[in-house]
Structure 1
Amino acid sequence: MPNLVVISTTAVPDHVRGALTRWLTEPAAGLYVGTVSAKVRDRLWDAVSASVGEGAAVCVHPADNEQRYTIKTAGESRRRILDFEGLQLIAFEGENGDQPES
């Protein structure tokens, strides 16, 4: 059954953007949205995360958990996904990659 998927990219190679636009719509620069099967979503994410280079990418899709969605990240970002008793929370790292900011 198809489900909504949202992928956001920053500074990724052009071939990654091209691969995403074959399956998803790009309503804003670097933001891809579409309804695809879990198999297509997972294969797209595998391709994106393997080719992100010096950029970054985030994937949000429905899941059978308390929040009803899952967040995946690839590449360099100040945001880190933390699992807090089954909930995915976001922590921001400091300017030099130190401790998460409060």
Structure 2
Amino acid sequence: MPNMTVIATTAVPDHVRGAISRWMTETMPGLYVGTLSRRVRDELWQAVSGTVGAGAAVMLCPEANEQGYALQTVGERRRAPVDFDGLTLVAMNPVEIDNESVKTP
């Protein structure tokens, strides 16, 4: 049964954006929404996660759990999903500061 799926991308190659837009509508740059079957969604996510390069992507899709959705990510991001007793929470990774580039008065 098809379900609503959302994919958000950041700094991915153009061919990845093209592959996603074949199945989903790009409502704003890097944000895709569509109604996909599980098989199409899984194949599309496999293609995205294998070719994301230096960019990043997040996918939200329905799941039979307490929250009603699953969150999958690929690539380097400041926010990372963390499983907390069956609930997916988002943890913020601290920004690394290059001490050599910081000048003190």
Q: Same fold (TM over 0.5)?
A: yes
Partner of 1:43: 43
Q: TM-score, normalised by structure 2?
A: 0.91
- C-alpha separation between the residues in 2 aligned to 1:38 and 1:28? 24
Any gaps of 5 or more consecutive residues in structure 1?
Answer: 98-102
Answer with 1 or 2: which has the greater Rg.
2
Give 5+ residue unaligned stretches, structure 2: 98-105
Report percent identity of matched pairs.
Answer: 59
User: What amino acid is the match of 1:67?
Assistant: Q
In the alignment, structure 1 residue 66 sits paired with structure 2 residue 66: yes
Matches within 5 A, 1:76-95: 76-95=76-95
* Deviation readout 1:42-100 (Å, 9 max, x if unpaired): 01000001111000000000000000000000000011110000000000000029xxx
* 2:59 aligned counterpart, secondary structure: strand
Moved over 4 A (4+): none
User: Residues of 1 paired with 2:82 and 2:27: CA distance?
Assistant: 28
SS in 2 for 1:54: coil
CA RMSD of superposed structures (Å): 1.0
Deviation, 1:6, is 0.1
Cα deviations by residue, 1:4-43 (Å, 9 ceiling, x for unpaired): 0000000000110000010000010000000010000001
Number of residue pairs matched? Answer: 97
